[in-house]
Amino acid sequence: MALWKMGVAAFIPNNSFKYGKRIYALINMTGDWTSGTTITYNEDSGTADGLSDGLIKYLRATDRILVGPSTLSGYEGATQTFVVSSVSSTTIGVSSTQVVKFANNDPITGIGSNFPGGWEADDDADLIMGGITNHDIQTLTTTEGNMDRFSVQFRNNDTVNERGIKFILNEGDYLADVYYRTGLHYQFNEVSSAELKIVVNSNSVDFIDDTIATADAQTAWTEYNSAAALSESLLGDEWYVKVLINADVGYGIANIDNIYVEHAAETDDATSAVYTFDDYPALGSRKFTMIRGSTFSRLKNSRLIRSDSTGGGDKNKKYVVSCSFANVTRTLRENLETLIDWQDRGKYLVLHHDMPSVPPNLQGVITIKDTNMAHWDAGKCSFNFMFEEA
């Protein structure tokens, strides 16, 4: 059993890469699309992120797209879902039998599993995405045994330096002159002279800039945590977290999962950027459940399943971890109260635990109840602890 840790999250939506990139395009045929297995499209400039290769960056075979509503006479308002069989910079191949007919400029929407939603490519001309992977159905294994584990794979091709994925955080998510640290779980295959790196940048300064791995092959899932670094003063510039492969020659391949950026300001471990619990959970009290919560689209067995607020579809699984602390130091309870204060200000927390069946580095909220202060004067207390994933 290991001591748990907790930090205040700089919230990164889709930090465990459970869902893909929303796409939007318009049919762009010489005539109406009334039959066939190939759609020529024009991509909406608002979703391209400056990339030149169209939907090939986002969609991959087995994804599903929704075409319509149709504006063609006799089919007005009708839609049809198609299974993607191939993608190029201007066309989408589909394997489903066409029932509805469509007019030129009718919309194409969907979620592409070849790129993580909420993230963007960083200098992406030579970045080859491998897509979102559900490790329950792949040959890749995890030493932690986590259930329903997703990751995103990306490759840096040939001789291009520092290509990766980037998430830009809001100005309000950033605190000046606070110690931060970052981390993730990864697999990395250095094919030739490559290194896997993580960068956290604010005010145009990399206050975290670490090499994660340069090993020839790291096939087992491995956790990486940066050392704490003091952030720069905020002058209004954007700040971001970026995971990249630096490859002077050749290329590297990485799977990454459960990425976080956190701090522990106002706790006893502020300069470590994460609070380490002073005591262990009571023996036998650790447990978890899974609930179905949010309504975004997600992947299951390589298929895109859409959820809705009425209960249809396959909703995203969220983990709830609970335990009890019996006659532990009052210091633990006081530091958790500080973290709850951050939570009350609208922040999520990051829980680092030692439960092998639960994904690591969960982001969510905590609840403490049934606090027993009978031994408070002796510096001891007891309470029940619950963490619910966001």
Closest-CA residue to 114 (of 47, 41, 39, 61): 61
Closest-CA residue to 51 (of 159, 129, 157): 129
Lowest-pLDDT choice from 71-80, 228-237, 251-260? 228-237
pTM value is 0.84
Lowest-pLDDT choice from 8-17, 93-102, 137-146, 372-381? 137-146
Query: 3-state class of 306 per DSSP?
Result: coil
What's the confidence (pLDDT) of residue 237?
Answer: 67
Cα-Cα end-to-end distance for the chain: 25
Cα 389 from Cα 259, distance rounded (Å): 14
Q: Summarize the confidence of residues 3-19 as an average pLDDT.
A: 91
Q: Summarize the confidence of residues 152-179 as an average pLDDT.
A: 80
Domains of the chain: 20-116 (2.40.30), 273-389 (no CATH)
Lowest-pLDDT choice from 105-119, 150-164, 186-200, 299-313? 299-313
pLDDT at 301 exceeding the cut of 60? no
What's the confidence (pLDDT) of residue 129?
Answer: 75
Q: Summarize the confidence of residues 353-367 as an average pLDDT.
A: 89
pLDDT at 384 exceeding the cut of 70? yes
What's the confidence (pLDDT) of residue 52?
Answer: 53
Cα 242 from Cα 366, distance rounded (Å): 28
Q: How confident is the model at residue 158 (pLDDT cuts 50, 70, 90)?
A: low
pLDDT at 190 exceeding the cut of 70? yes
For 239-274, how does the pLDDT look when each residue is reduced to its tens digit (9 = 90+)?
899 998 887 666 788 889 999 999 999 999 999 999
Q: How confident is the model at residue 220 (pLDDT cuts 50, 70, 90)?
A: confident
What's the confidence (pLDDT) of residue 159?
Answer: 60
Alpha helices (H) in the chain, listed in sequence order:
330-344
Q: Which of 283-287, 297-301, 306-310, 317-321 has maximum average pLDDT?
A: 283-287
Tokens for 110? 């969907």
Quick one: three-class SS letters along 238-275? CEEEEEEEEECCCCEEEEEEEEEEEECCCCCCHHHCCE
Return mean pLDDT, the chain: 82
Lowest-pLDDT choice from 34-48, 194-208, 371-385? 34-48
Query: 3-state class of 360 per DSSP?
Result: coil
pLDDT at 335 exceeding the cut of 70? yes
Lowest-pLDDT choice from 5-9, 118-122, 205-209? 118-122
Cα 112 from Cα 116, distance rounded (Å): 8
Q: How confident is the model at residue 46 (pLDDT cuts 50, 70, 90)?
A: very low
What's the confidence (pLDDT) of residue 385?
Answer: 96
Cα 58 from Cα 193, distance rounded (Å): 27
